[in-house]
Structure 1
Amino acid sequence: MSRTRLAVWGDPIAHSKSPQLHAAAYGVLGLDWSYDRRRVAEGEFAGAVRSLDDSWRGLSLTMPLKDEAYRIADVRDAHAELTGVANTLTLGATVHAFNTDVGGIIDALGESGITTVERVRLLGAGATAASALVAVADMGARSADVRARRPESASTLRELGARLGVEVTVLPFTETADAVELTVSSLPGGTALPEDVVAPLAAAGGALFDVAYAPWPSALATNWGDVPAIPGLGMLLHQAVRQIRVFVHGDPGVPLPDEQDVVAAMRTAL
């Protein structure tokens, strides 16, 4: 049976833009594949995957399923191994897991003219922060100032930094901020930090890359001053491009046929 079915799973999932992104891409590529969305709770994930038949090609995963996707896989790519999470699975006799968020961050920043960094600040300490840390390490970062409401929750980022050769310090949001070139926020959309917290972070924070994109500008971007604020739509787009490469080629690094046209169609669909 031909594997032509795909979907994005998560909880919640109704807001996901993935179906229109993937539909646009497969239209340009001339692939008669279906791509749907399904609400799947964390505790339901393993059973739901086991219930899929041979018509299923792969899955895109959003929160809270990225940890579960990592655990269920037989084989994982390097970025999934580093971060301990996966947002993409290919299905079959062997389940392969990928983390395309890392490359999506790198591509989105590169599109905005940011290709190298040395000193960065990460706001938040969850799965997306781990992907961001791997991304900036690939871009040359040597130090990362992590801000978290509960600094003890960022122990995994310290360990990851040690593996990557990046010096990670973890501080509360209110601590004095040293100057950095780039701030990456993985705080949930709609998070509004107090003005007296944002002001010093913005003054010494360089460009802001905020993974939130709805609504835009985010509360953080609104208070970031005159320095560029980059929305997370670019990450959403480019992680999906790499995800589609996985579904087509099995490799997030292999470009798609007519990829410029594919990306243009996806951008229009956003």
Structure 2
Amino acid sequence: MGYYVQVDAGVSIYVEDVNPGSDKTILFLHGWPANHQMFEYQFNHLPQMGYRCIGWDQRGFGKSDKPWGGYDYDRLADDLRAVIEALHLQNITLAGHSTGGAIAIRYMARHGGYGVSKLALIAAAAPSLIERSYFPYGLKKEEVLTIIKGTYNDRPNMLRGFGDMFLFQHVTQAFSDWFFQLGLQAASWSTAAIANTWLNEEKLFYDLGKINVPTLILHGVHDQVCRFPLAEAQRQGIKNSKLVPFQNSGHGLFWEERYKVNTELAHFIG
């Protein structure tokens, strides 16, 4: 079932809730520039295994409202708190992909992990998506500036280019078109605003040490967006965490090795 949750004055977030009768809940946070539909291959199978799967469309993306502002990690973490409270969620597993993983980490630090008993980070954009003098593993600033420029000048072409670096395995043209359409459902200003957030000193080194729940880190070794050293830094920074490398995946392991992702999540949650 799908419904809306108001998280801020005049801002409503779209939520998809599958198998709501289960007491084993996973709340999925999508990556940039997609929406909750990117987890189609988790929502197809995990409910069959007894899990309740909830996906949100972050503000500015998918079916959610698309305000002009509010795209920093603090505001997005506050949106998540509002959704968790509105749905009366407790003892959930919070699973975030890419920027969704960064939002999950900020939520754990900013809100003390309210309602969350376990955390899953899937190709998470943390502790820094951008290369820095003290952390030389992220994307170069110029690469992100190119994404922002492309968003304002030819967003469809930018999305096609991003899709080309997203996956390690070969995909059909039909799949590529489907993923491309997910990005087009976002507002152009929201798409650019999140990319600007990566640039504006949005980093999560301090946040990692504030996570106090069991954490599963799933990451493709061929990831060209959030490179594998980011996962190793997450493992070092988060107590009680486990890193599982995906040898045949890039940034899209939720599809490229979907059976393994689903199996690892089910084993982790129990």
When normalised by structure 2's length, the TM-score is 0.30
In our comparison, the structure showing a higher alpha carbon Rg is 1
- Larger RCO, structures 1/2 (Cα 8 Å, 6+ apart): 2
When normalised by structure 1's length, the TM-score is 0.30
